[in-house]
Structure 1
């Protein structure tokens, strides 16, 4: 009995420590995000030390786009003007980013969003960990 009670107590503490995404947090998606690592479902991970491209998100009223951009040494960004349309949806308290292009549709679950952290998970259970991109310039 003690072990069962201890198990439920520890489970509750673990679940309560997981950051949950709230509607008010969605505005934090806006801006430039740089991939740090991808965690694989089997427990492995791929680290990204240098990123030639970063993701720019623009979201308003749960609609917007994601675009790949390339930071330049003068602090500007180059882009090829290809945008993925996005729509954020809430399904039973879980938020998803739904992507649409001329070539397909897919969605990613928003696991965590903070001022400088974004974690997304796709249908293959790959977790994409982003950090807020800080612009630089050598001007």
Structure 2
């Protein structure tokens, strides 16, 4: 009986994901740096240094994501390429639907706060993001 109870507690602990509200979506705005990716088989890939950072701009659940490159002076180098997106919230679950000229895809928002973002894509890869540390050599 104890083993069954322990199993239920473990399953509920690991299967919980944050309920996302409309108010949480504003936390997506800004710069996000990838920390690690968890693969479906449990393997992890850690990112110590990132050449690019994701920038999100969302207003009323629509917006875009761009890849930007941090520069030594603290600024970001960017181009005109962006992924248009729509955030969909239903019953506390939230997803980001991306669309470009060449493809469309979806990511589930697992966790979202001012300083942490966790996304899971359709291939069950889980991406962990943090706010990038500001730096400058000036």
If the length of structure 2 is used for normalisation, what is the TM-score? 0.89
**Aligned equivalents of 1:130 and 1:90: distance in 2?**
20
**Aligned equivalents of 1:120 and 1:103: distance in 2?**
21
Number of matched pairs: 138
Query: Partner of 1:54 in structure 2?
Result: 53
Alignment of 1:44 onto 2:40: no
**Aligned equivalents of 1:58 and 1:73: distance in 2?**
23
**Aligned equivalents of 1:22 and 1:15: distance in 2?**
21
Alignment of 1:123 onto 2:122: yes
Partner secondary structure for residue 37 of structure 2: strand
Partner secondary structure for residue 79 of structure 2: strand
Following TM superposition, by how much is the alpha carbon of 1:115 offset from its aligned partner in structure 2, in angstroms? 1.4
Partner secondary structure for residue 105 of structure 2: strand
Partner secondary structure for residue 130 of structure 2: strand
Question: How large is the Cα RMSD of the aligned pairs?
Answer: 2.1
Partner secondary structure for residue 80 of structure 1: coil
In the alignment, structure 1 segments of 5+ residues that lack a partner are: none
Partner secondary structure for residue 82 of structure 1: coil
Q: Which moved more, 1:70-79 or 1:3-12?
A: 3-12
**Aligned equivalents of 2:18 and 2:106: distance in 1?**
20
If the length of structure 1 is used for normalisation, what is the TM-score? 0.89
Q: 1:97 to 1:17 in 2, by over 3 A?
A: closer
Alignment of 1:89 onto 2:56: no
